[in-house]
Amino acid sequence: MSLQDANDYGDFIDSDDDERAPEFCEIEESAEPIQQYKKGTFYPVYIGEVLHGNYHVIHKLGRGGFSSVWMAHDIANHRDVALKIIVSGNSGDHEYNIHQQIIRDVKDTSSLLLCLNVFHLEGYQCRRHTVLVLPVQGPSFQMCLYKRPIAARMSAAWQLLRTLKKLHDAKIVHGATATPLDDRKLNVKHQYLGRPQKIMLPNTIWKRADLVLPIAETISENLLQDTIYLADFGLSFKTDQPVPDIKGFPPGLYRAPELWHGIKCDYARDIWSYMFIFTHLYLGVRPWLGNGSSTVLANMVKILGPLPQQRMGHYEHPPSGDVSWYCQSRVPDLRLEALDAKIQRLRPEVSEIERSHFLSVIAKGFCYLPENRITAGELLDDESFRALMEHYQL
């Protein structure tokens, strides 16, 4: 059964309604784990709530391992904003400070999603949650990836690399957009964004809260544009300053192999993550999968071959590393020839010349040793990368 909120704040999905059971499961799978709310890790929010006396929550933009992101209306300034509510125990002060350093040190910040304001909320058992107020530019591009044509995906890859170079030039390691709706009525916003689909959390949570399906699942494709913004600077740091004690790592699939082995490299880690995203954008599928540290590395090694021998014994994440990952006689299951066949299967329209350019690019980015990995500036000038971009009229 669907119960419409009296104030038009979306639709509650009832688990007892057999017809809508798949939607209930989709919300549970895409939202934060309920247990993390019970423990006080995530700050509970509900659609229609007014936070800090000014920010009227109207939709859910997404979430990550260290934050949930909500679309809200800034009552005082008559504009829509994004509220990034950081989990308890993970100080958002570092990320806010990085935003200020970027504003000071990066000449062109037009492609960066930077903080407008900051405030704090008191959570469960007096735990503090930092909230960054950001411009609202839409959902994560990767969440909308399946909706975008290949030309738009390659445009995103080009924009992202140029933005990374801006950060690297300012000695910063990093570690989606829509038409403004600020002045539209709530029911009109719902026509563009989709009505919030939500589940009311049980009374065992210390305050009222909703689990909400992120906006990327409901947003109108006509609202999506091709300009992207780089965001999420929680793991960023300046290379010319002492590296702060930052809790957490990049998501496992995007994490450079040296980070699994306790090596704190700088710009090269960004290039590895970029290359994973670039491959995903080009192929439409991730180059490898995995839901844990060991499965990520095992699948990576199947494709790219054995990890460097000198890394053996330095793996730092549970469970313990598999010695077969470092066996130099091991032959990758997916050599370049097999990957070439995979491109032909996933992208049959691609010419042999274009495939060769793509394989050349990823070979320069997916280098196990960070000192051998191509830089952002070198990749922008790389002949094969430029040929790919020119093919898509970029």
CATH code: domain of residue 273:
1.10.510.10
Q: Does residue 166 form part of some domain? A: no
- What pLDDT band is residue 3 in, cutting at 50, 70 and 90? very low
| Same domain as 25, residue 142 | yes
- The domain tally of the chain equals 2
| Same domain as 385, residue 256 | yes
Residue 2: predicted pLDDT: 34
| Same domain as 256, residue 201 | no
Mean pLDDT of 156-160: 91
- Paired with 63 in beta bridges are 68
Given 223, 257, 282, which residue is the final one in a domain? Answer: 223
More confident residue, 342 or 336: 342
More confident residue, 3 or 271: 271
Q: Does residue 192 form part of some domain? A: yes
Q: Does residue 135 form part of some domain? A: yes
- Paired with 99 in beta bridges are none
| Same domain as 105, residue 6 | yes
| Same domain as 219, residue 257 | no
Q: Does residue 30 form part of some domain? A: yes
**Pair 272, 173: CB distance under 8 Å:** no
| Same domain as 60, residue 188 | yes
Structural domain harbouring 257 = 249-391
| Same domain as 293, residue 195 | no
pLDDT tens for each residue of 200-210:
888 778 899 99
More confident residue, 377 or 23: 377
Q: What percent of the chain has pLDDT over 90?
A: 34
Residue 181: predicted pLDDT: 41
More confident residue, 319 or 329: 329
Residue 381 tokens read as 């000038």
- What pLDDT band is residue 218 in, cutting at 50, 70 and 90? low
How far apart are the C-alpha atoms of 368 and 307, rounded to whole Å?
7
pLDDT over 90 (residue 342) = no
| 84 assigned binding-site residue | yes
Mean pLDDT of 84-94: 81
R_g of the chain computed on alpha carbons: 22
Residue 19: predicted pLDDT: 60
| Same domain as 42, residue 118 | yes
Which CATH number belongs to the domain containing residue 189 in this structure?
Answer: 3.30.200.20
| Same domain as 383, residue 311 | yes
SS3 13: strand
Residue 194: predicted pLDDT: 66
Q: Does residue 190 form part of some domain? A: yes
| Same domain as 288, residue 187 | no
Mean pLDDT of 17-45: 79
Residue 26: predicted pLDDT: 76
Averaged confidence pLDDT in the chain: 81
| Same domain as 112, residue 60 | yes
Q: Does residue 156 form part of some domain? A: no
Q: What percent of the chain has pLDDT over 70?
A: 77
pLDDT over 70 (residue 276) = yes
Q: Does residue 139 form part of some domain? A: yes
pLDDT over 90 (residue 67) = no
Mean pLDDT of 160-171: 86
Q: Does residue 239 form part of some domain? A: no
| Same domain as 192, residue 339 | no
- What pLDDT band is residue 372 in, cutting at 50, 70 and 90? very high
Cis peptide before 250 (omega within 30 of 0): no
